[in-house]
Amino acid sequence: MNTARDLAYMEMAYGLAEKARGRTSPNPLVGAVVVRNDSVVGHGFHETAGKPHAEILALRTAGGLAKGATLYLTLEPCVHWGRTPPCVDTVLAAGLGRAVISAVDPNPLVHTRGIRRLEGAGLDVSVGLLEERNSGLNEAYAKYITRKIPFVTLKAALTLDGKIACRTGESKWISSAGTRDYVHLLRGEHDALMIGVNTLVADDPRLTVRHPNWGGKKIVRVILDSRLRFPPAAKILSTLPRGRIVVFAGRGAPAAKARALEARGVEVVVPGGRNKAWDLPDVLAELGRREIASLLVEGGSRLFTAFVENGLADKAVLTYAPRLVGGAAAPGFIGGKGAAKVGEGPALKKTRSFSVEDDIILEGYF
């Protein structure tokens, strides 16, 4: 049975796991703490893909003090070879007296096998403490590792009347400076950003991560541009050291334009087979093949609408500024035909809201 001390040490393990947010993809965020006689003798977290896992670092720090100790681990140890050896063998060799594991790994190669290995070796194992924390922390990993497509978050800056731009297309700046800073913090937690070509043409964004917490962070920029309307003087072309640019173009896009973009370092991807254009499920599948586990979609309205209407969005982060712009021609967050009845429209679940300066940030799940 778990105790208050178990809860405190598992909270510590989750605090360690959080330190690597945005840096471990496509691997999960994991933290570990080793406790002996009510003293922490080892701790660690998975820092980035390819580096030792959390439990390995924690046991390495503990050394001989791990014998008879308790391991607190936010996710069950792996049992397979990947970029690193199986962790379960090291855990068993440490001579632990007990293991408290928060959650099972959704990876089909691991799922419950790590726990069963520990139990089969006679180790006292407790599972499930703070499991709900892991569900939120590793939501992108859980979707990617089971479906091989990224977890999709829609991010939009809106006025109080639901507009993402004025009737002229001008949108700088709807959000406050503090909210824009928050968005850059959010960008850094993702593997890739996506926009449609209309947003590229209208806003000329750089789509980089500009926040002091994310020094040197590179992020993949994805642009849906079936006819290759990509402006040759777009600002984003000067930011290739900050991350790859992948353009999803139609089969009929100008070949000369594609070659010109590729000569500047852009990846132009056309659909396979007899398909003339990309559909969103195929785009997500291609991103999954590139090990992109989390995708932040930043516009525009047609792209937001397509994700919502096709049931492909997992989450929304909507920032509301206390401003009204009006105008029937001004684009809203969602367009399309729209619901005939209020109850037919998709509703966000598990919502939370908070304020940044004068703006309201609303987060929820589809």
Residues taking part in catalysis: 55
Q: Which residues touch 325 (CB under 8 Å, ≥6 apart)?
A: 159, 161, 163, 166, 167
Of 188, 193, 252, which is closest to residue 225 (Cα–Cα)? 252
Q: Judge whether 283 and 310 are in contact, CB under 8 Å.
A: no
Distance CA 18, CA 96 (A): 25
Q: Other CB atoms closer than 10 Å to residue 48's CB: what's the count?
A: 10
Task: Calculate helix-pair angle for 54-62, 4-18, nearest 10 degrees.
Answer: 120
Strands 359-365 and 192-196: unpaired
Write the DSSP assignment of 37-92 as a string of letters. Answer: TTEEEEEEE--STTSPPHHHHHHHHHGGGGTT-EEEESSPPP-S-SSS--HHHHHH
**Contact by Cβ (8 Å): 76, 115:** yes
Torsion sign (Cα): 172, 186, 111, 6: negative
Tokens describing residue 151: 């977890």
Bridge-based pairing of strands 220-224 and 267-269 is: unpaired
Query: How many angstroms separate the CA atoms of 64 and 120, rounded?
Result: 23
275 within 8 A of 295, measured Cβ to Cβ: no
Determine if residue 117 is left, alpha or beta; phi over 0 gives left, psi from -120 to 50 gives alpha, anything else beta. alpha
Q: Please report which residue ranges of the chain form alpha helices under DSSP H.
A: 4-18, 54-62, 87-93, 113-120, 131-137, 139-147, 177-187, 197-203, 255-263, 280-289, 301-309
